[in-house]
Structure formats: C-alpha cells, structure tokens
Amino acid sequence: MPFADFKYADLIHRCFRCGYCKFPVHWEDVNNCPPYARFRMESYSCGGRLWLTRAWLNDQIDWTEHLAEILYSCTTCKNCVVKCPLRFNVDIVNMIVAARGEMVEAGKVPPAVKRFLENIELYGNPYGESKDKRGQWVDGTRVERYHGQEYLYYVGCTGSYDARAQQAARTLATVMIRAGVSFGILGTEENCDGNEVHKLGESGLFEMLAENNIKQFKGIGIQKIVTFSPHAYNVIKNSYNQYGGSFEVFHYTQILQGLIEERKINNLMSFNAKVAFHDPCFLGRWNEEYEAPRAILRAVKEVELIEMDKNRDGALCCGGGGGNFQIDLLGGSENSPARRRVREAHEAGANILAVACPKCLVMLNDAVKSEELGDKLAVMDISEIVAKGCGI
C-alpha cells in the first residue's frame, strides 16, 4: 500500500515530532506507557513506535519481526490518548491499530500474534482449547443456560478457560444468584467477543465475530448483557452497534453497585483489609467508569480503600491488553508492567490488590508470585471480596 493511501498519512508525523507525553508533571509518570516502561527505549515509546510505523509504510525501512513486535507490544491502554493535550489524541491508538491492519493484510505479524488469531478463528478462543470446554467453569454451580432471563452473563474467553479467572467467574455468578439476578449463560455456544482481535488489526475476523455474535444474541432475544470482562464490555457496547447490534451492556461492577444501592446485597460483613484498586484500562480510560468498583469496596465493612499513586485515568496498565495476556511481549523482566504494578500496591500499604478484569487478575496474580509477595499481597477480583463479605 502506498503510504499516501494510509488513513492517517497526514497525521502520524505530528505525534512523533511532539513527544509531550514524555514530559509529564510528575517525572515517574513517564513510565505509564507499558512497553516504554518495560524496555526504556525510544522505539518503544508512543512517538517512537509511530515514527517506525511511518518509516515502514513509507518504504524507508524493511519489515522485520522485531519491528512487528515493537508495534504489537502496545497494549492499547489509551494512556497516551489521555495524556496528549492535542486535538489528534483520539487517533493515536487508532493509528497503531490501522498500522497493525496493514501488517495483517500483508501477512507479516509476529508468530505469537498469528497463533493468537488462528486459535480464535479455529476454536473461538485464543488458548486453542476445544469449544466443548468453554462451559465447564460452571460445573458445580446453579448457573442456568440462557432461556429468556433478564440478562445474558457473558463470561468471555479468559473467564471460561483460565483456571484462576474461572474461580472469579463462578464467584460472580454465585453472588448474582444470591442477590436474585435473573441471568443465564451461553456455555459452549459462547464465542470470542473480538475486542483483542480488533485491537490486533484483524478487521475481517473481527467483523465475522461481531456479526455472528449479534445474530446469535438477537436470535434468542437477548437485550441486556452483563460482562465479566471490561474488554467484552468495551467492544459489545462501543463497536457492535456498527454492525446492527444495539444492546444494554453493563460491566458486572455496575450491576453489583446497583444491587448494593437497592440493598439486595447488604450488611456486607467485616473484611479487615487494606485494599488498593487497580483500574482496568478498558473499564477506566476506555469507558470512564472509575466509581462503581470503588463504591462496592467502600460498602464492605472495615475495608480501608487506599489509592496507589497511579490511579483512575493515570493508572498503570497491567500489560495484558492488546492480546499481551497471551502473546506476552512485555514479560520476562522485573520491569514488566504487571510486576511494577504489584510493587506499587505493596509500597502503598495494601494487603489486597482488587481487580475488576479477568486479564488483570491473571497478570497481577502471576506477578505477585514473581515478586515473591505471596505472603504480603493477595490479588482478588471485586466479586470475590463481595462474596466473602456475604459469607459465601
């Protein structure tokens, strides 16, 4: 593709000629870009990545696997968008996604990205697991298949297949049953939501996933959806409408907050702990939901909610976005975003790091082990904290 035909050809240079995002009010905030924090090289910064992208699209440098890994190391956390004061800030991540689309179109992506996308196309999940296993997380619970209940509980790939995330998915289901929420699941008929597929630049596969999911949802009369993952929440809420899918979509913390306010969940027992909440990128920066998780935690007796220095729209990404929870281009170092994040929680005085995203749960739980903080810091999903407060 000639560079002149690239959608952002007249815009991309404005970012890398600026560099404002690397001159923050507080110097330590310069580390908020996950790849830049991990590698500390200009090529992994927001501007550096786009500079290399322009050079490749303009035939000034050749494609290499290393170049592709730099481009795919971006977690699409949107920190750069939030920090940039210029008018084109809304398109910074879009430029990365569009450039990845060119790599996908040319068949030039890192092997790990290729496997990720192939697994979703073949199996409906990035783990390459059988669809028959997708509903096994529900074994031993009273969760029912969807048959016209008020909500579809959309669990997603991580909650369905990862052992740690499965625990939290079951706990959330148990809490909702206890509170009298009318919901059902798709079980083995559930398919990938496509958020990471979209962010990895595979627009054709994403369109297929979105259209098939919308057809399925409409076919069985689904109108309201509660998602376990902020990633699913983001894509179903903000992207499916482009393909005719208009649903009422809620992240589970919004549902739990409502249940607490309506006193359908009340008298949460004492939970003597210092809890720091980690804002998920796709709940916070992408959808500006910061209060629901905190309102839930404040409702639990004797929970001391403390804030890490990096919180809300300044929170540090766990490093799992953009497929990196599986592709893992940022791991293998004490400077990985997840390990830095758990150190921040520990240094803030927390003994529980609360999360509201299964990908964050997995990434940060593994980081606690790597940091050997297991006897000092526990990573818990907010649903698990509520469950313990309910005596479940």
CATH number at residue 229: 3.40.50
Judged against a pLDDT cut of 90, whether residue 17 lies above it is answered with no
Question: Are both 190 and 224 inside the same structural domain?
Answer: yes
DSSP 8-state symbol, 153 = E
The domain total for the chain is 3
| E strand or H helix at 305 | strand 303-306
Question: Are both 143 and 217 inside the same structural domain?
Answer: yes
| 9 inside domain | yes
Q: DSSP secondary structure string, 225-293?
A: EEESSHHHHHHHHHTGGGGT---EEEEHHHHHHHHHHTTSS--PPP--EEEEE---TTTTTTT---HHH
| 253 inside domain | yes
Residue with the two structure tokens 């909610």: 305
* Confidence band, pLDDT 50/70/90 cuts, at residue 24: low
In the chain the first and final C-alpha atoms are separated, in Å, by 57
Question: Are both 225 and 273 inside the same structural domain?
Answer: no
Question: Are both 145 and 35 inside the same structural domain?
Answer: no
pLDDT tens readout for residues 59-116? 999 999 999 999 999 999 999 999 888 888 999 999 999 999 999 999 999 999 999 9
pLDDT tens readout for residues 141-160? 999 999 999 999 999 999 99
| 114 inside domain | no
Question: Are both 82 and 135 inside the same structural domain?
Answer: no
Listed residues 88, 109, 130: the one ending a domain: 109
Rounded to an integer, the average pLDDT of 127-136 is 96
Alpha helices in the chain, H assignment, sequence order: 12-16, 34-39, 46-57, 65-72, 79-83, 92-106, 111-123, 156-161, 163-178, 195-199, 203-219, 230-238, 252-261, 291-298, 324-327, 337-347, 358-370, 382-389
Range of the domain at 223: 122-257
DSSP 8-state symbol, 151 = E
Query: Which pLDDT belongs to residue 3?
Result: 81
| 115 inside domain | no
Residue with the two structure tokens 């580390």: 31
Closest CA relative to residue 330, chosen from 318, 344, 342 = 318
Judged against a pLDDT cut of 90, whether residue 30 lies above it is answered with no
Backbone angles phi, psi at 247, to 5 degrees: -130, 155
Question: Are both 271 and 374 inside the same structural domain?
Answer: yes
pLDDT tens readout for residues 154-185? 999 999 999 999 999 999 999 999 999 999 99
Listed residues 109, 133, 159: the one ending a domain: 109
Residue with the two structure tokens 């082990």: 369
DSSP 8-state symbol, 46 = H
Judged against a pLDDT cut of 80, whether residue 31 lies above it is answered with no
Listed residues 222, 257, 292: the one ending a domain: 257
| E strand or H helix at 303 | strand 303-306
Residue with the two structure tokens 């293998």: 332
Question: Are both 301 and 365 inside the same structural domain?
Answer: yes
Query: Which pLDDT belongs to residue 4?
Result: 82
Backbone angles phi, psi at 97, to 5 degrees: -65, -40
Question: Are both 199 and 299 inside the same structural domain?
Answer: no
| 116 inside domain | no
Question: Are both 216 and 306 inside the same structural domain?
Answer: no
Query: Which pLDDT belongs to residue 27?
Result: 58
Question: Are both 303 and 196 inside the same structural domain?
Answer: no
| 244 inside domain | yes
Sheet bearing 224-227, strands edge to edge: 183-184, 151-154, 224-227, 248-251
Contacts of 347 (CB under 8 A, 6+ apart): none
Judged against a pLDDT cut of 90, whether residue 14 lies above it is answered with no
User: Which CATH number is 375's domain given?
Assistant: 3.40.50.10700
pTM of the model: 0.97
Rounded to an integer, the average pLDDT of 261-287 is 95
Question: Are both 101 and 170 inside the same structural domain?
Answer: no
Question: Are both 87 and 134 inside the same structural domain?
Answer: no
| 117 inside domain | no
Residue with the two structure tokens 């560099």: 19
Query: Which pLDDT belongs to residue 300?
Result: 96
Identify which has the larger pLDDT, 17 or 191: 191
Rounded to an integer, the average pLDDT of 271-300 is 97
Report the phi/psi class of residue 107: left, alpha or beta, with left for phi > 0 and alpha for psi in -120 to 50: left
Query: Which pLDDT belongs to residue 15?
Result: 84
pLDDT tens readout for residues 215-272? 999 999 999 999 999 999 999 999 999 999 999 999 999 999 999 999 999 989 988 8
Average model confidence (pLDDT) for the chain? Answer: 95
pLDDT > 90 in the chain, percent: 87
| 262 inside domain | no
